[in-house]
C-alpha cells in the first residue's frame, strides 16, 4: 500500500512505526475549501485536522451507522443496511470481503 502526500509516495508496511504514519496523515488533513459565488467572488476557508470524523475528533459508532444509512437511503432496504453494518463491525470474522460487497449490491437484475 502507498500513501501519497505532497512530499511524494511512501510505502506503508506493518513495520512502519505508528508515529510515522500519523505524521503523514496529519500532513494530509489540512484542506482548503473554496467557493466561487455567482457574482464571481472567491471565498476560501481552511479546514483543520479537528473536523468531525478526523482521527482527532472521530465519529461515534452510532454516527458511522447513521452516515451509512444516509448514503444507502433509497438504494438498500433496512435488512440490507443491517446486514452491511453487522458484517463491517465484524469484518475480521468474514471469510471474504466479497460477502460485504454482495450486501451492498442494490441493482436488481
- pLDDT of res. 25: 59
- pLDDT of res. 26: 61
* Contacts (Cβ under 8 Å, ≥6 apart) of 37: 43
pLDDT by residue for the chain (109 residues), tens digit each?
A: 444 444 555 554 545 555 665 665 565 556 677 888 888 888 887 776 667 787 778 899 999 999 999 999 999 999 999 999 999 999 889 888 888 888 888 765 4
Q: Could you state, in order of their start, the residue ranges of all structural domains in the chain?
A: 2-47, 61-103
Q: Which of 24, 1, 25 has the alpha carbon at shortest distance from 13?
A: 1
d(CA 89, CA 65): 10
Global pTM?
A: 0.54
Amino acid at each position: 500500500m502507498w500513501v501519497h502526500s505532497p512530499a511524494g509516495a511512501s510505502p506503508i508496511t506493518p513495520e512502519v512505526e505508528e508515529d510515522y504514519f500519523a505524521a503523514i496523515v496529519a500532513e494530509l488533513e489540512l484542506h482548503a475549501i473554496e467557493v466561487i459565488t455567482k457574482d464571481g467572488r472567491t471565498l476560501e476557508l481552511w479546514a483543520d485536522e479537528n473536523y468531525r470524523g478526523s482521527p482527532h475528533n472521530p465519529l461515534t459508532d452510532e454516527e458511522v451507522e447513521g452516515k451509512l444509512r444516509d448514503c444507502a437511503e433509497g438504494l438498500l432496504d433496512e435488512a440490507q443496511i443491517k446486514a452491511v453494518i453487522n458484517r463491517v463491525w465484524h469484518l475480521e470474522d468474514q471469510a471474504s470481503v466479497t460477502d460485504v460487497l454482495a450486501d451492498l449490491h442494490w441493482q436488481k437484475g
